[in-house]
A and B are shown apart, each in its own frame.
Chain A
Amino acid sequence: MRHIISILIENEAGALSRVAGLFSARGYNIESLTVAPTEDPSLSRMTILTWGSDDVLEQITKQLNKLVDIVKVVDLSEAAHVERELMLIKVRATGKDREEMKRMADIFRGRIVDVTESTYVIELTGASSKLDSFIAALDGGLILETVRTGVCGIGRGDRILKV
């Protein structure tokens, strides 16, 4: 099962390595990991996309909670939530492909944020699956470079992760 784990962690040197080290030492998967300070600069919010059975997920959350720097851990995917990922993708945009790329970006509600004579950089935000679909919809030979932020997510409604 795919799970999105959200973590509030003390914004201290080495905090990220403690989390990453835990995952590698115990053989858990990290599909993506994003981290940045919150509105309270003493805290960072980390989002980890991982895969595992219910038993493994139970262990992951327990082991994370054991880390002294971690303030809170929730499995976002347990209930209603919003998840987003940002992608910047550089494509070849020449000849007839130039118009096609513009059209594809529009269909996926992407924005072209950099233009040269032969390339576009398209910015696309959405669920990871939408980003995957966009890549699949393009001619692979025209993709020059992609960069994705990894998933970040937030609970819907009254579900709030705060100290």
Chain B
Amino acid sequence: MMISGAEIVVRCLQEEKVDYVFGYPGGSVLHIYDALFKQDEVKHILVRHEQAAVHAADAFSRSSQKVGVALVTSGPGVTNTVTGIATAYMDSVPLVVITGQVPTAYIGQDAFQECDTVGITRPCVKHNFLVKDVRELALTLKKAFHIAATGRPGPVVVDIPKDVTAQVCEFDYPKSIQMRSYNPVVKGHLGQIKKAVQLLQEAKRPIIYAGGGAILSDAAPQLTELARKVKFPVTNTLMGLGSFPASDPLFVGMLGMHGTYEANNAMHYADVILAVGARFDDRVIGNPEHFGGEQRRIIHIDIDPSSISKRVKVDVPIVGNVADVLDEMIKLVEAGFRADAGVGDWWKQIEEWRGRDCLRYRQEQYIMPQFVMEKLYEVTGGDAFVTSDVGQHQMFAAQYYKFDKPRRWINSGGLGTMGVGLPYGMGVLMANPGATVACVTGEASIQMCIQELSTCKQYGLPVKIINLNNGMLGMVRQWQEMFYSKRYSESYVTSLPDFVKLAESYGHVGMKIEKPEDVEPALRKAFTEHKDDLVFLDFIIDPEANVFPMVAAGKGLTEMILAEDL
């Protein structure tokens, strides 16, 4: 039977078992919206701004391992998605973004709501397509889902001119797909894996350093099993939090610019580093020239060969899917690995570093952001999905909320996009109905996608917004305090709305919390009494609280500034 391009789009989504599409209609996608209207398998979530559609689809994916899908119209619809697409690209999140385009005959004529979608998105997608023939539509969408989800995942844009959605052809959705130009490696090289295990056995000062790749490949069980078998310390990057239980004694905390004293020292002084789906980026190891000794050897497992030996030379590269490679490693370890073989002194050293208690802080007159995070952890039993925006609050959440499970910590690590927190909360709730979701944010970040309070009302999404309100662009202020002689250039957020009234005006619940003793009761009230409501908790916090430890930009991992130094 001949069906229209618009119906083909919807049938493809059905074939891919897509539950939700996040989007916003417009001229070029009217046929597709009409086709969506005529069925009820694929449900559409209407956001208030296209950027939020992509962020929500992104969090849907991050919290569920499914491919997230967004649908927007041409021109401004597309340009509004670019921040969302770039955010997903930097954190390797599989998305399919379907964009409308002006009719093929109009392309290149500066038509109304025309933009060069493929050109604009090219540098921030894994791949993109412009479909000019309805007969190629189904195959292209199949390719898009395949490319997005396999190898190192990432966003794929499919740009569809309006006339293509009106043309008709037979619908035939391929079951599987072969592409001669795209065949990502899955299994690691066995010889390299053997070499790696041998190196681990010889290590005197080992560390396991796991990043977002461990979460993307769902390798948390393997990582945990391997670490517990070899009894090595484990550190996580910001993106890797939850890939190893934070409550496990082997865990030394997050590393990097705001990593723990023990994690950063252990990483720096290690003689063998097992890097698992992590990429030695600048926020993690600081300046590569200050990083580690010459005797150190690095094993690097990553599905993307270009992540290996990019910033730091690697001794044993293993290209493959992290979970598959770790399975092989576990087999070899089980076959004869002597745990505790000479790493006792190393653990003693680590415990000494741990003894510095680098995340200590004092809760005095003002509410301290760290205190709010600790209480959030207690009140939610450590089992919430925590989304965050970008800035000090993000680091406090990462440092003080101990994630024991993967896919619970949803934030923009690579691109560092302010404004993601609330739409991330929406995406998490669509993928995990009934889940407890806290959006840790600040009064600056939250205003970047504040319009989504309306979407949350429409779909009954009870995100708990933990607004750490210091009236400052906190992280900017911190850098200005430390490196610009306290010249607070434009980092003061003035003319703030009354967030309680703002929340109420959207039909939500608002609370303002100004005293330390009110923190816990407010949180309890929000998460129990108002379980099914969106609650905006506006915590007025110490405006001068800073994130420590801190490795200044361009410094090495051991050159940390601790709170006690000041």
Contact = CB atoms under 8 A, between A and B. Distances in A.
Q: Do the two chains belong together in a single complex?
A: yes
Contacts of A58: 309
A55 B309 contact: yes
A163 interface: yes
Interface string B304-320: 11100110000000000
Nearest to B119: A17
Contacts of A96: none
B305 A21 contact: no
A25 interface: yes
A21 B120 CA distance: 11
Contact of B304 (A66, A70, A71, A163): A66
A63 B304 CA distance: 9
Contacts of B126: 68
Given A59-B310, A65-B305, A66-B304, A71 B180 contact: yes
Interface string A58-87: 110011011011110000000000000000
A10 interface: yes
Interface residues on B, range: 10 to 19
A27 interface: no
Interface string B110-152: 0000000011001100110010000000000000000100001
A62 B181 contact: no
Contacts, number: 37
Contacts of B306: 59, 62-63, 65-66
B182 interface: yes
Most-contacted residue by chain A among B152, B181, B310 (CB, 10 A): B181
A18 B122 contact: yes
Nearest to A9: B181
A136 interface: no
Contacts of B147: 68
Contact of A17 (B122, B127, B180, B305): B122
Most-contacted residue by chain A among B126, B147, B180 (CB, 10 A): B180
A71 B181 CA distance: 4
A14 B310 contact: no
Given A25-B123, A59-B310, A68-B126, A14 B182 contact: no
Interface residues of A, number: 20
Interface string A25-68: 10000000000000000000000000000010011001101101
B206 to A, nearest CB: 26
Given A55-B309, A66-B306, A21 B181 contact: no
A18 B130 CA distance: 14
B96 to A, nearest CB: 14
Contacts of A163: 180
Contact of A68 (B118, B119, B182, B305): B182
A20 to B, nearest CB: 10
A65 B180 CA distance: 12
Interface in B75-129: 118-119, 122-123, 126-127
Contacts of A107: none
B84 to A, nearest CB: 19
A159 B428 CA distance: 52
B122 A21 contact: yes
A17 B127 CA distance: 12
A10 B130 contact: no
B7 to A, nearest CB: 26
B182 A13 contact: no
Contacts of A70: 181
Contacts of A62: 305-306
A21 B304 contact: no
A100 to B, nearest CB: 49
Nearest to A14: B118
Nearest to A13: B130
Nearest to A42: B180
A10 B127 CA distance: 13
Nearest to A65: B305
A100 B282 CA distance: 60
Nearest to B156: A68
Nearest to A62: B306
Nearest to B126: A68
Nearest to B309: A58
A71 B127 CA distance: 14
A89 to B, nearest CB: 35
A63 B306 CA distance: 6
A2 B275 CA distance: 32
Contact of A21 (B123, B152, B180): B123
Interface of A: 9-10, 13-14, 17-18, 21, 25, 55, 58-59, 62-63, 65-66, 68-71, 163
10 closest A-B pairs by CB: A62-B306, A68-B127, A71-B181, A62-B305, A68-B182, A63-B306, A25-B123, A10-B181, A66-B306, A21-B122
16 contacts: A9-B181, A14-B118, A17-B119, A18-B122, A21-B122, A59-B306, A59-B310, A62-B305, A63-B306, A65-B305, A66-B306, A68-B147, A68-B182, A69-B181, A71-B180, A163-B180
Given A14-B130, A68-B179, A71-B180, 20 more contacts: A9-B181, A13-B130, A14-B122, A18-B122, A21-B122, A25-B123, A55-B309, A58-B309, A59-B306, A59-B310, A62-B306, A63-B306, A65-B306, A66-B304, A66-B306, A68-B182, A69-B127, A69-B181, A70-B181, A71-B181
